[in-house]
Structure 1
Amino acid sequence: MVFALAGPRWGSHFQEVSQKGVDIMIAVDVSPSMLVEDIKPNRLERARREIMDFLKVVQGDRVGLVAFSGAAFIQCPLTLDYAALEMFLNALQPDLIPVPGTDLGAAIKIALSSFDFKAETDKVILLITDGEDNEDRGLEAAREAEENGIKIFVFGMGETSGGPIPAGGGKGGFKKDKDGKLILSRLNENDLRKIASMAGGTYVRSVAGDLDLDVLYFEGIKSRTEAKTLKSGKIRIFEERFMFFVLAAFLFLLVEGSISERPYRGSKVQRFRGPKVQRFTENLNC
C-alpha cells in the first residue's frame, strides 16, 4: 500500500486541450488629468485597482494593455498571463508617455492594431479615461472599430463637476491658466457614451467601490460576445499505475487470510509452541 500511496506513474499519452474566451485590449489614459482627485485616491489609481479586480474575474480571456496620453503605445500584448500584465499595470504613470494631451483616437487605433484579424475570436477594446480628447478623433476611430467588428466598452473616470489638475514635478499645487485660474478637468460623459454606442459597446462610470468593471465584464462584455477557442494544443498525461499495487496488496491480504484460517494438527503445532501459546490455542478451540 505504501507504493500505491506514492502515486507511481509510467507510460503516457497526449491529450488535446483548448482555451476559450475573448480578446480584450485595455486602453488606459495616463495623461496628467488622470491624477485629479475627484474620485479617491485619484483617477489613475482607481483605474489601476479596478483593473486588478477585473483580472480576478476574467474567464479564460486574453487581455492586453495600451497606455496613452497624447500618443499611444502597447505596454503588454494580448496574453493569458495575468501576473505579467499586472507588472505593466503597476508601472503606469503620467510621465510614462512624454507627449502632452489626450488622443482617444490614437488609443483606439493602436488597440485595433494589436488584434489578429485572421483569428475568429471576438475582440473588445476596454477604454478607461476621463474623456478629454484634445485631438477630437475618438468618434472617427470608434467608427473604424465598428467597421472591423470590434466592440468598445468605455469606463469613465472622474466626476462631471471635475477637479483641479496637480502641477506635478514635485512642485505641489495645481495647474493654472495664463490668467492664474485653476484648470479643471471634468469627466466628459457625453463623448464617451457616443464612442461606446458607435462601436456597439456600453458606457459605465466608476463610482464608489471597486466592482464597476466586474459589472461591465459580466453584463456588458460577456453578454455581447461569444467565447471561442483562443488556442489549442496537446499536453502529455502520465498514466496512473497505483491500482496495480492496490490489487497486489489486496491479493496478499486474501492469501494471508486463507492461511491463517487453515486448521492446525495438534501434534505438529505443539512441537513449536510454548505452553502459554498452546493453552491460548486450546481456549480458542473450546
Structure 2
Amino acid sequence: MDLYELDEKKYLYLLLVIPVLVLVYLYIQFWKRKKQREFGDLDLVKKLSPEKSNFKPALKFTIMLLALASLILGLVNPKIGTKTETVKREGIDIVFAVDVSKSMLAEDVAPSRLEKSKQIVSQIVNNLGSDRIGIVAYAGSAFPVLPITSDYGVAKMFLQSMNTDMVSSLGTSLDEAIKLSETYFDKKGKTNKLLIMISDGEDHGEGAEEAAEEANKFGLKIITIGVGTEKGGPIPLKKNGIVESFKRDQEGEVVITKLNQQSLKDIAKATKGGYVYGSSTKEVVEYVKKALDNIEKTEFESTQMADYQSQFQWFLGFGFVLLFIDIFLLERKTKWISKLNLFNEKES
C-alpha cells in the first residue's frame, strides 16, 4: 500500500484562489450578458460576431484553473513511499525545554530571546545524527509540544510554532519543565537521556535544584543555555508586530528582565551537566556537540518510510502543458467542430 505526505503544506492555502477566480469569472459573464441586453437583442449581437464560440471561453478558463491547481500541487510537493521499514540506529534521547514566558519577548538579544532560543535549538538539531528528540514548552507551568521522535522535520515545524501564548500561567517554573521532561524518557530503558533547557533563568517557582537532583537519580543529564543579558531589557507589548508599550509593575514602572545565569548553572551542576551562555549560536552548537561526543550512544529501533520520492515534477509538467494548450486555444469556433453542431450553436 502506497503511503504519502505533503512536503510543503503551507502552499495548499493558495488553492483558495481558485474559488475566488470562479466567482470573478461568473460575475464577469453575468456583467457581459447584462451589457449585451442593454446594447440590443442577444440574437442580433450574436450575428455580429458569428465566429465567436460560446463554449471555448469557458473551456479556456477551466484549463487555466486546472493548470493553476497543478502548479500549486507541484509547490506542495507530494511524496510517495511504497513501504515502511524498521531500521536500527545509535543515539540518545534528547528533550529540548524552551522557556516561553513573557520575559522571553525581551529584545536585549536580537531578534528576541525566544527567537534566539528557536535558532539555537534548530541549529543543534541540524547537527544531530541519529538521536531522538522531543520538545517541551514552559512558563509558570509546562506543556508537552512534541513527544520523542526521530523526525527532525516535524520537530522544526513544531519549534517554529512556539510562542508566549502557548502556556497561560505567568512567570517561569524551571522545576515544572524538568518534571514534565522526565516523563518523556523510558526510565527502565538503557538509552542515555539528555535534557537541554533554554531560558533566561528567571525562576518564579521553587525547587528547580531539587527537581534536577531527582532527575539525576535515573540518569538524566541536563545542559542549560542562558539567553539574554545581565543588563537586561524591557518586555515589549506588541500589536500586529508594532510595539505599543512595555510591561509595567504594580507601581507603574517599566519591568526590566535580566538573565539569571546562576540558577541555570545550579541546575546543570545538580546533574553533572553543563551551562553555556547563548550569545553565540555557533559556540552553543559546538559546546553541545562536544558534550554529545562524550555520551555513550545506545542502539534502538526506528520506523521510517522507504523508497520515498518527490512527485512535484509531474504536477508542474502537467500544469505547464495545460498553460501551453491554453495559449493556443482561440475563442473562435473550430470549423470542423462547428459543422457537427455539438453545442447547438447553429440556428435551426
Is residue 111 of structure 1 aligned with residue 185 of structure 2?
Answer: no
Is residue 181 of structure 1 aligned with residue 257 of structure 2?
Answer: no
Instruction: Tell me the SS of whatever aligns to 1:173.
Output: strand
Tell me the CA shift for residue 212 of structure 1: 3.2
**Is contact 1:32–1:166 with CA below 8 Å preserved after alignment?**
no
Give 1:152-191 correspondences, 5 Å limit: 152-168=222-238, 172-191=244-263
**What one-letter code is carried by the residue in structure 1 that aligns with 2:92?**
V
Tell me the CA shift for residue 169 of structure 1: 5.6
Aligned pair count reads 221
Give the aligned partner of residue 66 of structure 2. none
Tell me the CA shift for residue 16 of structure 1: 8.5
**Is contact 1:17–1:235 with CA below 8 Å preserved after alignment?**
no
**Is contact 1:51–1:213 with CA below 8 Å preserved after alignment?**
no
**Is contact 2:277–2:284 with CA below 8 Å preserved after alignment?**
no
Give 1:97-246 correspondences, 5 Å limit: 97-168=167-238, 172-208=244-280, 210-223=281-294, 225-231=295-301
Instruction: Tell me the SS of whatever aligns to 1:76.
Output: strand
Q: Percent same amino acid at aligned positions? A: 36
Give the aligned partner of residue 154 of structure 2. 84
**Is contact 1:22–1:62 with CA below 8 Å preserved after alignment?**
yes
Tell me the CA shift for residue 109 of structure 1: 0.3
Instruction: Tell me the SS of whatever aligns to 1:167.
Output: strand
Give the aligned partner of residue 256 of structure 1. none
Q: What are structure 2's unaligned runs of at least 5 residues?
A: 1-84, 308-348
Instruction: Tell me the SS of whatever aligns to 1:172.
Output: strand
Instruction: Tell me the SS of whatever aligns to 1:226.
Output: coil
Is residue 72 of structure 1 aligned with residue 142 of structure 2?
Answer: yes
**What one-letter code is carried by the residue in structure 2 that aligns with 1:122?**
N
1:120-148 CA-to-partner distances (Å, cap 9, x unmatched) read 01001000000011012211111111111
Give the aligned partner of residue 258 of structure 1. none
Instruction: Tell me the SS of whatever aligns to 2:301.
Output: strand
1:151-182 CA-to-partner distances (Å, cap 9, x unmatched) read 00001110111111123466721111122211
Tell me the CA shift for residue 218 of structure 1: 1.5
**Is contact 1:50–1:212 with CA below 8 Å preserved after alignment?**
no
Tell me the CA shift for residue 230 of structure 1: 2.1
Q: Distance in 2 between matches of 1:111 and 1:236?
A: 31
Q: Distance in 2 between matches of 1:206 and 1:141?
A: 23
Larger radius of gyration between Structure 1 and Structure 2: 1
